Amino acid sequence: MEERTNETWLSELRPDHLHQAQALEDLRLYLQRGILAYLHSRSDLRNLAENELQQMSQDLAQEALLKVQANLDTFQGKSKFTTWAAKIAANHTISELRRARWRDLSLDAITEAGTALQEILVAESTAGGNPAAESERRQVWDTILEVINNDLTERQRQALAAVQIDNIPITEVARLLETNPNNVYKLLHDARMKLKQRLQKLGLEPQYILKLFSEER
């Protein structure tokens, strides 16, 4: 790609510039290379063929390019223009991949909260870890999982898993559960209160649990 200064990029990407078409193509190819490298690094996309990743990177680069064009006036010159444009492309790519994941997600995928939450809270001990603390975490996790499975309703489990574990937006969870956002908030509130009250009866205070799972491993 031809080396350009920030000022040259800003000038050549304007609609009335003689070299706009070439500047747009150069920037699109630059963004696409970065996006494709990122897609290759995603373990959840390894089942896709190379031509599928290539097509995805082309589409995402074109969409990101339009965003860059629409935001040219916001560029403040605090970094290289290509760095700024690449950040826009990265944010757009991550956002689109998340949206696609939510769109394709089924209720079955978020019903089983246990595995995902266990992977987050109870990772394998690293070298030099504390075996006693790790054992305590696992015992506490088993108790939490038992409460989730036995004390919460199916809808409460689904809402809790989707929002707290998979970080799915409330509006998307409402769509998956065929309800409205207010009902999702109510499900979450009831699930958290049930979980808190049951764990407190078992002698597990929220502060203790948070400290236990946030300790250095």
Provide CB contacts within 8 A for 31, sequence distance 6+: 61, 64, 65, 68, 85, 86, 89
In whole angstroms, give the CA distance from residue 217 to residue 209.
15
**Burial of 106 from C-beta contacts in 10 A (0-12 / 13-18 / 19+):** exposed
pLDDT of 124 higher than 50: no
Asked if 64 contacts 92 with a C-beta cutoff of 8 angstroms, the reply is yes
pLDDT of 152 higher than 70: yes
pLDDT of 128 higher than 70: no
Q: Looking at residues 146-164, what average pLDDT do you find?
A: 83
Q: Quote the pLDDT of residue 146.
A: 81
**What is the length of the chain?**
217
- Range picked from 5-19, 133-147, 160-174 for highest mean pLDDT: 5-19
Q: What are phi and psi of 64, to 5 degrees?
A: -65, -35
Asked if 57 contacts 39 with a C-beta cutoff of 8 angstroms, the reply is yes
Residue-wise pLDDT for 165-217, tens only, equals: 667 888 888 988 889 999 999 998 998 888 888 888 888 777 777 776 655 44
pLDDT of 102 higher than 60: no
pLDDT of 122 higher than 60: no
pLDDT of 131 higher than 70: no
Task: State the pLDDT confidence band at 36, using cuts at 50, 70 and 90.
Answer: very high
Structural domains in the chain plus CATH codes? 6-104 (1.10.1740.10), 107-214 (no CATH)
Beta carbons within 10 angstroms of residue 172's beta carbon: 20
pLDDT of 141 higher than 70: yes
- What percentage of the chain reaches a pLDDT higher than 70? 78
Question: Cα dist. 60→2, 13, 64 in Å?
Answer: 22, 19, 6
Residue linked to tokens 């339009």: 66
pTM for this one?
A: 0.51
Question: Cα dist. 29→14, 25, 82, 204, 208 in Å?
Answer: 18, 6, 12, 55, 51
In whole angstroms, give the CA distance from residue 15 to residue 11.
9
pLDDT of 52 higher than 70: yes
Asked if 94 contacts 86 with a C-beta cutoff of 8 angstroms, the reply is no
In whole angstroms, give the CA distance from residue 47 to residue 11.
41
Q: Quote the pLDDT of residue 216.
A: 46
Mean residue pLDDT across the chain: 80
Task: State the pLDDT confidence band at 33, using cuts at 50, 70 and 90.
Answer: very high
pLDDT of 22 higher than 80: yes
Residue 48: helix, strand or coil by DSSP? coil
